[in-house]
C-alpha cells in the first residue's frame, strides 16, 4: 500500500484519540514500527468505519499517527522574533483584545513583558508574558492562526541604551540632540533618568524618582535612547500629619492665571506666591503685577514649575487651589496638605500639594489640582499667555481627553499633562482623605512662599 496515502488517512483519525489509546502506545510501539518497515499492514487496518473488524489494526494505526506527531511534526518557522502556530507555557502578565500584528508592539511597550502569544480567542487576544522566555521555550501548536514571539533584551552601553523607554515620572523636556540628553538630565535638579525620542525634531524627556535599569522596557523604535544618571538620589520629605484628617474631593484645572495667594496680604507668609512673565519661566518681583486673566495690561501668569511631578510610584508633589471648611485664605495660603486618594485607579497613592489659589466655584474640603491641560475653568489665561487657540486646551472643565493630546500643549508644560495620564492614571476627580503636613522644601522652593509659623 502507498505509505503516503496511509499517512493522510491516519491523520483524519486523530479525532478518535482516547486516554486508552495513549496507554496502548506504551505496549505496542515496537510492533507498529516493525509493521511499517516490513509493509505487513493489512488493508483492513485503515478501515476506520468498522473498528470492531480490525481492532488490532486500528490500534496500530493510532500508534503510527502518534509517532508521526511526536517525531515527524514540523519545527517552528521563526520570522525573526515571531512565528505562527506556536505558544509558551505560563508566565502570563496581562492581556489585551487587539489584532495579532499589534501584539508584539503591545508587549514591547508593557513593562515586564518579555514574550507573548496571540490567539483568536474572544475576537483576538494578546497574552503578554513575563520571565525568561526564549525561542527555545516555545512549542508548536496545530493552530496556524496563533502567533508567538519574544522581545529583544536591552543592550546597555554603561548607563544608556538604544530602543528603550521608562514609564511616566516626567519632570521636564528639552529639544536637544540624543547625545546631550544624559548630560542635560544630570545637570537638571531632580532628574534621575531620561528618554530621548525623535519627537519634534528630537526631544529629551527628563524623569524623576527612584529608578534602575531594570525598570526600562524595550521598544520597537531603535532610534530611542534611555538611560539613568549615576548617583542621583531622591529622598522624599517626611510627611507626618500636623492636623486632623478629613474627607475631601478633588477636581483639576490649569488656567494660567495669577494665583490668588500671589497677591500681597493674603496670609502670614515670607512672600506671596511667585508669578511669571508670559514665558512661564521669568519670575516677577512685583506682587501687584496685573493677572494675565485681566482684560487689559496682562502681566502675571502661573509659572511653568507649578505643574506636578512624581517622587515614586505612590507619592507625588504638586499645587492646588483649595477651600477648606472652617478656614480661609489666611489659614491655607501656602500651607501643604497630604491627599490620600480613596477612589478610582489612584487608590493607595498620595499627593502632597501646596495651596496657591482658591476659587469661587469650590465647595467645602475641595482641592482643585493644578495639572496642565486639565481645563481652564472660570478664567482662561492660557490662550493669551501661549497664543494657542482655545481647542488646544480641551474642555473648559476636564481639559484634554487623551495622553496624545498633551503633545499639542506648549512643550514646557507637557510633562504636567502627561503626569495626569501616567502617575495619576487618568483618574477623574477621585475622593480622598487629607491632612495638613509640613511643606516639602521642593514645593516652597518653586513658589518662594513659606508660612510664618
Helices (H) and strands (E) in the chain, counts: 9, 22
DSSP 8-state symbol, 428: -
DSSP 148-199: EEE-PPP--BTTEEESEE--S-EEEEE---HHHHHHHHHTSTT--EEEEE-G
What distance in Å separates the CA atoms of residue 87 and residue 119, rounded to the nearest whole number?
Answer: 9
Closest among 413, 431, 146 to 306, alpha carbons compared? 413
Bridge partners for 351 per DSSP:
316, 339
What is the distance of C-alpha 170 from the center of its chain?
12
HSE, CB side, 13 Å, CA atoms: give it for residue 307.
29
205 near 170, Cβ under 8 Å?
Answer: yes
88 near 128, Cβ under 8 Å?
Answer: no
End-to-end CA distance of the chain: 101
- The catalytic residue positions are 255, 368
Question: Where do we find the cell 510664618?
Answer: 452
Residues 6+ apart with CB under 8 A from 222: 162, 163
Amino acid at each position: 500500500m502507498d505509505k503516503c496515502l496511509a499517512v493522510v488517512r491516519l491523520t483524519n483519525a486523530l479525532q478518535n484519540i482516547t486516554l486508552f489509546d495513549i496507554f496502548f502506545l506504551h505496549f505496542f510501539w515496537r510492533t507498529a514500527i516493525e509493521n511499517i518497515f516490513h509493509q505487513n499492514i493489512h488493508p483492513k487496518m485503515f478501515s476506520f468505519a468498522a473498528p470492531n473488524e480490525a481492532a488490532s489494526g486500528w490500534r496500530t494505526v493510532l500508534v503510527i499517527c502518534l509517532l508521526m506527531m511526536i517525531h515527524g511534526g514540523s519545527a517552528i518557522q521563526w520570522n525573526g522574533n515571531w512565528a505562527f502556530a506556536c505558544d509558551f507555557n505560563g508566565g502570563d502578565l496581562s492581556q489585551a483584545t487587539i489584532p495579532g500584528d499589534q501584539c508584539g508592539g503591545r508587549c514591547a511597550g508593557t513593562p515586564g513583558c518579555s514574550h507573548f502569544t496571540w490567539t483568536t480567542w474572544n475576537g483576538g487576544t494578546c497574552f503578554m508574558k513575563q520571565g525568561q522566555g526564549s525561542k527555545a521555550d516555545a512549542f508548536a501548536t496545530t493552530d496556524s492562526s496563533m502567533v508567538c514571539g519574544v522581545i529583544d533584551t536591552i543592550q546597555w552601553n554603561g548607563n544608556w541604551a538604544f530602543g528603550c523607554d521608562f514609564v511616566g515620572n516626567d519632570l521636564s523636556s528639552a529639544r536637544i540632540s540624543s547625545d546631550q540628553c544624559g548630560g542635560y538630565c544630570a545637570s537638571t535638579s531632580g532628574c534621575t533618568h531620561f528618554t530621548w525620542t525623535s519627537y519634534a525634531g528630537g526631544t529629551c524627556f527628563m524623569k524623576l524618582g527612584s529608578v534602575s535599569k531594570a525598570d526600562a522596557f524595550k521598544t520597537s523604535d531603535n532610534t530611542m535612547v534611555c538611560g539613568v544618571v549615576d548617583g542621583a538620589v531622591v529622598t522624599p520629605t517626611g510627611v507626618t500629619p500636623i492636623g486632623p484628617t478629613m474627607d475631601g474631593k478633588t477636581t483639576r484645572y490649569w488656567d494660567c492665571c495669577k494665583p490668588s495667594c500671589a497677591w500681597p496680604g493674603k496670609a502670614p507668609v515670607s512672600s506671596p506666591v511667585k508669578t511669571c512673565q508670559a514665558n512661564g519661566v521669568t519670575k516677577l518681583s512685583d506682587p501687584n503685577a496685573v493677572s494675565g486673566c485681566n482684560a487689559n495690561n496682562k502681566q502675571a501668569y502661573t509659572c511653568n514649575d507649578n505643574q506636578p511631578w512624581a517622587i515614586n510610584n505612590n507619592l507625588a508633589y504638586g499645587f492646588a487651589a483649595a477651600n477648606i471648611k472652617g478656614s480661609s485664605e489666611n489659614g491655607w495660603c501656602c500651607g501643604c496638605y497630604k491627599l490620600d486618594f480613596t477612589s478610582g485607579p489612584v487608590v493607595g497613592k498620595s499627593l502632597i500639594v501646596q495651596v496657591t489659589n482658591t476659587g469661587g466655584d469650590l465647595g467645602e474640603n475641595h482641592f482643585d489640582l493644578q495639572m496642565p491641560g486639565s481645563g481652564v475653568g472660570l478664567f482662561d489665561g492660557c490662550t493669551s499667555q501661549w497664543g494657542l487657540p482655545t481647542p488646544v486646551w480641551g474642555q473648559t472643565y476636564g481639559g484634554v481627553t487623551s495622553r496624545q493630546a498633551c503633545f499639542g500643549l506648549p512643550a514646557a508644560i507637557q510633562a504636567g499633562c502627561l503626569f495626569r495620564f501616567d502617575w495619576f492614571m487618568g483618574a477623574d476627580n477621585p475622593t480622598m482623605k487629607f491632612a495638613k503636613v509640613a511643606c516639602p522644601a521642593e514645593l516652597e522652593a518653586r513658589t518662594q512662599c513659606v508660612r510664618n509659623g
